[in-house]
Amino acid sequence: MVRTFSGIQPTGEVHLGNYLGAFGRWAREQEPEHFFCIVDLHAMTAPYDPPVLRERVVDVACWLLAAGIDPDVSILFIQSHVREHTECTWILNCVATMGELSRMVQYKEKSAQRQSVSVGLFDYPVLQAADILLYDADEVPVGADQQQHVELTRDIAQRFNARFGETFALPRATLPRAGARVMDLQQPDRRMSKSVSSPQGKILLSESEEITRKKIMRAVTDSGTEIRAAEDKPGVSNLLDLLAATTGAEIAELETRYKGKNYGDLKRDVAESVNGVLRPVRQRYAELRNDPAEVAALLRRGAGAAREVASKTMDRVRERTGLVAS
């Protein structure tokens, strides 16, 4: 059975792109060897407000559960609840090199936007490597912007194995399938984002159905009236992608269905379909938010299961690296 590790940052509010591109797909494909980790330690590499971080961690957990992540099937946990992540990071720091970390594209982009850069931001990929390697993950679902980090993880694991003996499995990145990218409603040439998209460009899962409908009805379309998916029609293409993702229909089928219809017809159907898909998720989220004790218990159980796996990996790592057993 393939073992998968998926990490989600508790930064910003959860939006439709998170659900269609990640949460919902994870829920449909989950198996006993799937680890879902809320990476709160990674979130600390950017400026943050402690109470807000704490709230968002719980919020993401509730959305994951509401989306269908089943604690009886998969393992859902908070990164900081499994101390082996930080211990493993330090040991991998002694294998990773400054040169390869400084070449990470994401580090270059983020550090260019800040006057002061923390060691945590520089070291982010090594913590990510520890996240993955602790669970002997075979596959790591990531966006294209994180693929380089998984490749670095493989390099670090291979270097460690060559120096200390076979210890870590070598993971591979799996990229989202075509159509999994949800684009900004106002700027459809870029992805819907927690941090970049304007309020009108993203659909938050926490919003009402009416707000969702209004945002879709105000979505940017394109010149002309023909409803078809094409590079020169990013707005219409995005709406067709949303309808395909929420109905299971093929794009070609939708193009035929909307032949001779107008953009308003398409937008109304997209709004109805998106709200229909999100309705049970939003209802389940509200139930979970009203029962914090249940959520806390599920996260404790997940951390216990994750720690059981991670501790065995760390036992091997300590023995191979010459650390004295406690």
Mean predicted confidence (pLDDT) in 279-292: 98
Mean predicted confidence (pLDDT) in 174-191: 81
* DSSP state, residue 197: S
Contact present, 271 and 33 (Cβ < 8 Å): no
State whether residue 170 is helix, strand or coil. Answer: coil
> Quick one: pLDDT band at residue 104, thresholds 50, 70, 90?
confident
pLDDT value at residue 180: 60
pLDDT value at residue 178: 52
80-95 b/e (C-beta count within 10 Å ≥ 16 → b): bbbebbebbbebbbeb
pLDDT value at residue 142: 85
Kindly report, residue by residue over 231-262, the tens digit of the pLDDT: 899 999 999 999 999 999 999 999 999 999 99
What pTM does this model have?
Answer: 0.92
Contact present, 290 and 58 (Cβ < 8 Å): no
Residues forming beta bridges with residue 141, ordered by sequence position = 174
Residue from 16, 26, 32 nearest 174 by CA:
26
| Residue 181 in tokens | 């990218």
Q: Which amino acid is at 182?
A: V
Say how far apart CA 54 and CA 147 lie, in whole Å: 28
Say how far apart CA 307 and CA 304 lie, in whole Å: 5
Mean predicted confidence (pLDDT) in 107-115: 80
* Domain 199-286, CATH: 1.10.240.10
The share of the chain scoring above pLDDT 90, in percent, equals: 80
How far does CA 276 lie from the centroid of its chain?
A: 23
Pairing of strands 34-38, 75-78: parallel
Q: Look at residue 179 and tell me whether its pLDDT is greater than 60.
A: no
- Looking at every residue in the chain, the average pLDDT score rounds to 93
Kindly report, residue by residue over 201-213, the tens digit of the pLDDT: 999 999 999 999 9
Mean predicted confidence (pLDDT) in 271-296: 98
| Residue 42 in tokens | 């990674």
Q: Look at residue 276 and tell me whether its pLDDT is greater than 90.
A: yes
Mean predicted confidence (pLDDT) in 22-41: 92
Domain with CATH 3.40.50.620 in the chain: 4-175+292-321
> Quick one: pLDDT band at residue 49, thresholds 50, 70, 90?
very high
Which residues make Cβ contacts (< 8 Å) with residue 272, sequence separation at least 6? 213
How far does CA 217 lie from the centroid of its chain?
A: 27
Q: What topology does CATH give the domain 4-175+292-321? A: Rossmann fold (3.40.50)
> Quick one: pLDDT band at residue 112, thresholds 50, 70, 90?
confident
The share of the chain scoring above pLDDT 70, in percent, equals: 98
State whether residue 167 is helix, strand or coil. Answer: coil
Q: Look at residue 181 and tell me whether its pLDDT is greater than 80.
A: no
> Quick one: pLDDT band at residue 177, thresholds 50, 70, 90?
low
Q: Look at residue 144 and tell me whether its pLDDT is greater than 80.
A: no
Domain with CATH 1.10.240.10 in the chain: 199-286
> Quick one: pLDDT band at residue 109, thresholds 50, 70, 90?
confident
